[in-house]
Amino acid sequence: MSAMNTVRTTAVAGAALAMCLGGLAMAGPARAAAAPGSLIAEQALGQYTSGNAEVQKRKYEGDAKGGDTERNNCNFYTGFWTAKANLRWDRTSAPRTGTINNHQACGTSKGYMYIKVDGAWKKTWTSVKWTSRAWCADFAKYTWYWGKADVKGLNAAADSFRTYGKAHGTWHTEAQVAANRYRPKPGDVVSYDDNRDGRADHVGVVTSYNSARKVYNSVEGNTSLEQLTYKKTQSATSGRVLGYTSPTAR
């Protein structure tokens, strides 16, 4: 890894420790001038590395009672977006029972949401009821939201990040990366096309990129391990990579 990339990766990983509770540090010093990309990468890494017991539960699908993997798509991030009490409720719903290998009821854990307190929206550490659906996009959208990116137009579909990028002029194809016309950045969302139909069917959040080797690290939800996963040194130009979407600030 080049010295520049080493410094960038170290800085992002270190800052993640202050961001691990899902937006907790956002109440600190104003960072309005900062691009959202680095904040998003910090959020993604923080969700994976946090030592907070409630945040650790988010890494695994299941009932949120012991960090066990139930393989049922129950997860915190979908619960966040489908909570009607949440200021950022996405106006959709998802089952409170599993949808993959079993139908066990989804559990509950705590996290930050903006909810009504005495008639005013207040950022509150509160119970979040987990719900069940494919959640890679819900996780990526969550990191963008707390990373101060514009999330309008994004939804639970992985392909919504590709269409977002096209609408905002921030979509970059794998071919552009291969030709050195674009270098993925921390906070970008990488879109995968495993079905080879030109549409994204899985997404992850880029946390660092090595331009010399054309490899990236990412944090991804709803992987084949049915959990939040930190993936290292992946080829930025592999056959399954469709492209990258950069966030725009809100």
User: 11, 131 in Cβ contact below 8 A?
Assistant: no
**34: how many CB neighbours lie within 10 A of its CB?**
12
Whole-number average pLDDT of the chain: 87
What is the model's pLDDT at position 32?
Answer: 41
Band (88; pLDDT cuts 50, 70, 90): very high
Instruction: State yes or no: pLDDT of 34 exceeds 50.
Output: yes
Q: Which residue, among 181, 81, 59, 176, has the nearest Cα to 133 in the 3D structure?
A: 81
| Structural tokens at position 168 | 């905002």
- pTM, full prediction: 0.86
Q: Which residue, among 143, 231, 158, 153, has the nearest Cα to 191 in the 3D structure?
A: 158
**Distant-in-sequence, close-in-space partners of 202: CB < 8 Å, separation ≥ 6:** 136, 158, 191, 192, 194, 220, 222
12 φ/ψ angles, rounded to the nearest 5 degrees? -65, -45
The mean per-residue pLDDT over the stretch 72-88 comes to 97
What is the Cα–Cα distance from 86 to 76, expressed in whole angstroms?
A: 13
At 161-189, the pLDDT tens digits run 999 999 999 999 999 999 999 999 999 99
| Structural tokens at position 209 | 């990129």
Instruction: State yes or no: pLDDT of 121 exceeds 80.
Output: yes
